[in-house]
Amino acid sequence: MAIYKPYSLRTPNFELLSGGIRVMYGLFGWLLAKGQVAYLNAKYSTSDFIGVYPEIYWGNDMGADTVVKYILNKPGVMSSFGMPGPSIFPPEDHIFGFTKLYDTYDLDEDHLMFLPILNLHLFKDQKKKRKNRCVFVGKGRDMPLKKTEGLKRITIKMSMDQGALADYLNTCEVMYSFENPTAMNEIARLCGCRVIFLPDEVVRYTKKDLEEKYEPGMNGIGWGKDTTFDVSAFRSHYIALQTRFSDQLDKFIEITQA
């Protein structure tokens, strides 16, 4: 594997509950593990480096000679510093996508990198007795559905203590979710809790979209109703995604260092 230029990854400060930011920090760690020289938000005295930006950033404020845009959401949807991100990018930029679900560029497999960011040592099935049901709203709409009334809500405060979150989800047989996709659906399933997604009139992605394009898949997620769940198969699939990312990152390094 060729190693020529260092990387600098542009990212906001770390936030535990921001999936996009965690992906950028995860990519930073993976690049180091691959033996690459990588920094966060560094401006070198020379332009001979590779700047990696999530899609929320305009331009190339680090002054990199080679620019990579890592599409973590559909361009123009998310904001940075109170301003929506760009919806188009310069033709000379390298475009890589996090998931097929957000791909508006018809990227080939060499330019898709789904990075699993969840802690498999923490989020696992503890084989506890399951007697609870809970609900996660997230960015979804809090619909007044009777089936979620009186259920414990997964809040931001609870999510900040990831150990407590894992322990609680291990007491739950079902988590109702108003948001899809979301890492919380993967967290619940890794903990052995199946998910029932409650779509409302504003559904960003259809069931078919998620089945065909979202890399973690729909094992254990019911669309508006309960479903079957193979916990061990989902965990094995998630681990396989990590292995696949390692191979995809090798290709990323090859392409960006060329």
Q: What is the pLDDT of residues 99-122, one digit of tens each?
A: 999 998 999 999 999 999 999 999
**Range picked from 14-18, 133-137, 233-237 for highest mean pLDDT:** 233-237
Task: Say how far apart CA 49 and CA 44 lie, in whole Å.
Answer: 8
Q: Report whether 143 contacts 198 (CB < 8 A).
A: yes
Task: Say how far apart CA 134 and CA 85 lie, in whole Å.
Answer: 34
Q: Helix, strand, or coil here: 52?
A: strand
- Answer yes or no: is pLDDT of 201 > 80: no
Task: Say how far apart CA 219 and CA 32 lie, in whole Å.
Answer: 32
Q: Helices (DSSP H) in the chain: which residue ranges?
A: 19-33, 156-160, 162-169, 183-190, 207-213, 231-257
Q: What is the mean pLDDT of residues 232-247?
A: 98
Q: What are the residues whose beta carbons fall under 8 Å from the beta carbon of 126, sequence distance 6 or more? A: 166, 167, 170, 191, 192
Characterize the bridge pairing of strands 172-177 and 152-153: unpaired
Q: Report whether 131 contacts 171 (CB < 8 A).
A: yes
Predicted local confidence at residue 139, as pLDDT? 75
Q: What is the mean pLDDT of residues 201-225?
A: 89
**Range picked from 1-5, 143-147, 192-196, 199-203 for highest mean pLDDT:** 192-196
Q: What is the pLDDT of residues 72-91, one digit of tens each?
A: 998 877 766 667 888 889 99
- Domains of the chain with CATH codes: 7-115+240-257 (3.40.50), 132-227 (no CATH)
- Answer yes or no: is pLDDT of 1 > 70: no
Predicted local confidence at residue 14, as pLDDT? 93
pTM above 0.85, yes or no: yes
